[in-house]
């Protein structure tokens, strides 16, 4: 197969594809050039930077393209149904990065609880703000509400329980037996909002607006911490910033944003926001697992 890799890939996996006889081209294409380029490849591997939309698929029709692989969990940067209607298979690697994203969510929880982001920043400005940042909180004994209880949410729930947090979860899909297996109960969203000290979002992007908005924030505890490592559009950034300014929201940990690169400076520079530039899956271990899964998908395709 002739394979296009647009957003980078583990070097060992790239070499494995080449060793297996495939031609691999590593190149990022601007949106206006992507559709025409796709015609020349049997498969394309993307991460989050490349977005394959209906117009790209239309331009690629009549060409070689028959497989799109998203190296990661979510596939909202691909018009999946449109691609499949055009006879193009869409795959992802849902297992590979779950632990990495869950660990980053946990890291943001610690950072928010103990002012790690802003305290470290002020030290680089030669300030010693011990009094200002000496009033942190512990995670132990607090309630974590997980919105979206798939693989990432489950990994986070297990870690949170291990440090003594109470964990509850909400999801439109209930996995049989998971409550007993992990000791984490499903609850309705309103109950989760009312009971949680920390809320971590792990749902795919949804139609119909943000999951965390002014209405849902109003239902939360005063002083809640909101973590989002899922999709930027799952959180209404204006509502979150208003919550931070009013004190309704104590702090927030963000890895994803409505626009990327992030443009809402008032939000990401807020002193009570711990922020990272969409690096949830960016660990050596996750990238190696993603690469392995991609190779497996390609080698089994059509068999």
Question: CA separation (Å) from 111 to 3, 107, 182, 252, 286?
Answer: 40, 6, 25, 9, 22
Which residues lie closer than 8 Å to 47 by C-beta, 6 or more apart?
6, 7, 8, 70, 71, 72, 281
Distance CA 132, CA 235 (A): 28
Cβ count within 10 A of residue 103: 19
Distance CA 209, CA 233 (A): 8
**In this structure, are strands 273-275 and 249-254 parallel, antiparallel, or unpaired?**
parallel
CA 223 to chain centre: 24
H or E, element range at 95: none
Residue recorded with tokens 């690169």: 261
> Which residues on adjacent β-strands are paired with residue 182?
none
Which residue numbers are catalytic?
231, 260, 278
Among 26, 81, 73, 25, which Cα is nearest to 53's?
81
Distance CA 164, CA 205 (A): 30
How big is the chain by its Cα radius of gyration, in Å? 21
Residue 274's SS3 state is: strand
Question: CA separation (Å) from 284 to 11, 100, 232, 280?
Answer: 11, 9, 24, 11
> Which residues on adjacent β-strands are paired with residue 227?
200, 253
Q: How many residues does the structure list for the chain?
A: 303
């Amino acid at each position: 197969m002739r394979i296009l890799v647009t957003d980078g890939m583990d070097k060992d996996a790239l070499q494995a594809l080449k060793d297996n006889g495939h031609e691999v081209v590593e190149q990022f294409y601007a949106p206006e050039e992507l559709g025409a380029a796709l015609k020349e490849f049997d498969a394309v591997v993307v991460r989050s930077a490349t977005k394959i939309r209906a117009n790209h698929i239309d331009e690629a029709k009549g060409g070689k393209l028959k497989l799109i692989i998203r190296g990661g969990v979510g596939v909202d940067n691909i018009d999946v149904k449109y691609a499949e209607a055009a006879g193009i298979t869409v795959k992802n690697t849902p297992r590979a990065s779950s632990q990495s994203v869950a660990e980053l969510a946990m890291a943001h929880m610690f950072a928010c609880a103990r002012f790690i982001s802003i305290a470290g920043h002020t030290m680089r400005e030669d300030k010693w703000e011990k009094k200002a940042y000496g009033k942190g909180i512990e995670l132990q004994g607090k309630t974590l509400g997980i919105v979206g209880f798939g693989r990432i949410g489950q990994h986070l729930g297990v870690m949170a329980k291990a440090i003594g947090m109470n964990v509850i979860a909400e999801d439109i899909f209930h996995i049989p037996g998971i409550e007993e297996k992990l000791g984490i109960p499903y609850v309705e969203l309103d109950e989760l909002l009312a009971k949680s000290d920390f809320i971590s979002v792990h749902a795919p992007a949804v139609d119909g607006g943000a999951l965390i908005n002014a209405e849902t924030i109003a239902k939360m505890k005063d002083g809640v911490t909101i973590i989002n490592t899922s999709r930027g559009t799952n959180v209404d950034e204006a509502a979150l910033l208003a919550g931070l300014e009013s004190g309704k929201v104590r702090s927030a940990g963000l890895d994803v944003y409505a626009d990327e690169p992030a443009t809402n400076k008032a939000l990401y520079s807020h002193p009570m926001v711990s922020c990272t530039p969409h690096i949830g899956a960016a660990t050596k271990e996750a990238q190696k697992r993603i690469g392995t899964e991609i190779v497996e998908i390609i080698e089994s395709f059509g068999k």
